[in-house]
Amino acid sequence: MTEITSLTELLRNSGAQLRFFDMGRRISKLTVEQFAKIEQQQIPYPLPYLHHAWLALMLWNPKDKTQGVVWFLKLPLDEQGYLMQAVRDDLLNRLLQNASNLLNSGGDKDTPDALKDNPFSFTPDQEKMAVFHACSTLATVEPASNYYAGAQDYFSGRDRFENWQALGFQGIADLVIRHQQDNNSQLISNAIPSLPDAPFEVLCTCLEHIEPTHELFEALCLRTEQTLQRGNASGNHIAALIRGLSNGRDQARKNALLLQILNSDYALEAEVIAAIATRCTDALQHPELLHPFLEKLAAGKAGQAGFSRILSDLMFIPALRGLILLQFRSNQRSEMLSKAIGEMFGQTFTTH
């Protein structure tokens, strides 16, 4: 019998349907082919977050979808962003020990779990778990949750968007993830101008996981512009707006709004600068945004600890590391930014 040397090979041979999702900055699909290259160290992990790969691995029996498992794995990456082979080998050994139980437990609690108590597991927060559940039911062509119809009814505006507390977060997650079905994208777009702040913020935390249609993205942009013009929003609300906009395709439109935020005092708020850092890494590849971002990060309420933690994460992304170093050495950097850099790297760094 040929020796199995990769997780992908083992899982494919199990006869299961297989899906990978990245669970780091936002929930997004990883193809099986991508993961195969990642575990063989042919490519670095494309979406690192806090120096780790955050993964959801779904397996289910195509003949009986009730027979399935989901593992959430937080895998350390080396300095170049590659998956550590010792970690891959540990997971492979755990699976090989009881490969025959992968899909045949039928939900039996006494059946050993191949990855139970492994040192690389994590539990997503409730918000991400709700969005993941919406993604997983869509992937397996199963019905949405019982909250879905209620969310559709609420976003229709028939009750003037009252009693939103009765909504389940799961219903909003289902509505957003199924935005290409049942006219949901239009429903959300029409609701955005009138939604109260609280349900709108919940909506935005779900919208970051999809690529919105042009109409939906434009509705978000218009609400953002109106909010910035009023100038009395909380930092949490601005952060929610950033998250909702973050996966939009119109980079120029998005960058213009982000620049407006970065040029305001909102960007001094820790939650606002963190939302840009964690959700808008594509925008930060533009020097005209990266420079004010670094300046506000150095001057903001996140303090030196926040500056160092956020920059350490961003510099782990290959596309950003060189751009950040260029800004660090720019003659246009402020004294405050120079001081923050010195605190992070040592005073000698600023002299090069």
> pLDDT tens for residues 60-119?
888 877 778 899 999 999 999 999 999 988 888 888 776 555 555 544 544 456 676 788
Say if CB 140 and CB 60 are below 8 A apart. Answer: yes
Domain-embedded: residue 268: yes
Q: Are 134 and 267 found together in one domain? A: yes
Plot region of 204 (φ>0 → left; ψ -120 to 50 → alpha; else → beta): alpha
Number of H helices, E strands in the chain: 16, 4
Question: Would you say residue 179 lies in a domain?
Answer: yes
For residue 277, pLDDT over 70 is answered with: yes
Percent of the chain that is helix, strand, coil (3-state, to 5): 55, 10, 35
Question: Is residue 107 one of the residues assigned to a domain?
Answer: no
Residue 1 counted as domain residue: no
Q: Is residue 114 part of a domain?
A: no
Shared domain for 130 and 97, answered yes or no, is no
pLDDT in the model for residue 1: 47
Q: Which residue has the higher pLDDT, 102 or 234?
A: 234
Neighbours of 161 (CB within 10 A): 16
Statement to judge: residues 96 and 138 lie in one domain: no
Euclidean distance between CA atoms 218 and 179, whole angstroms: 15
Residues 314 and 165 in one domain: yes
In a domain, residue 192? The reply is yes
Query: Does residue 28 share a domain with residue 150?
Result: no
CB distance 319 to 280 below 8 Å: no
Our count of domains for the chain comes to 2
Indicate whether 198 and 71 sit together in one domain.
no
Average of per-residue pLDDT across 252-260:
98
DSSP assignment of 210-246: S---HHHHHHHHHHHHHHHHH----HHHHHHHHHHHT
Dihedrals phi, psi of 163, to nearest 5 degrees: 60, 40
Confidence label for 164 from pLDDT (cuts 50, 70 and 90): confident
Residue type, 270: A
Q: Which domain holds residue 76?
A: 7-101
Based on the domain organization, do 87 and 133 belong to the same domain?
no
Q: In this structure, are 31 and 131 located in the same domain?
A: no
- The pTM of this model reads 0.91
140 and 235 co-located in one domain: yes
Whether 62 and 157 share a structural domain: no
Whether residues 151 and 249 share a domain: the answer is yes
The reply to whether 48 and 166 lie within a common domain is no
